Amino acid sequence: MVTERGKPVAIMLPPATAREDRRIQTMLRKGEARWGDGKPKGARRPARIKGSSVAQAVLEARGSRT
């Protein structure tokens, strides 16, 4: 168990067993799961947002407080 300031934050486990690996391979073969091929691609183009940018809104909010 990994702790931070005395509180558990993670549990260390051994790598998957051969049985678990076989189950994963079976799921992949049946099409019940698929193996990721790296970083998610996300949207092809960023969404267009109307109005001012978030940065502009933050600057305006900061200006109104001073």
- Nearest alpha-carbon partner for 17 in 25, 9, 8: 25
Predicted pLDDT at 29: 93
Q: Which domain holds residue 18?
A: 1-34
Predicted pLDDT at 42: 76
pTM reported for the whole predicted model:
0.34
Residue at 44 is within a domain? no
Mean pLDDT by 10 residues, the chain (66 residues): 91 84 90 81 78 86 74
The tally of domains found in the chain comes to 1
**CA dist 46 to 14, 33, 40, 55, 59, Å?**
40, 29, 14, 16, 23
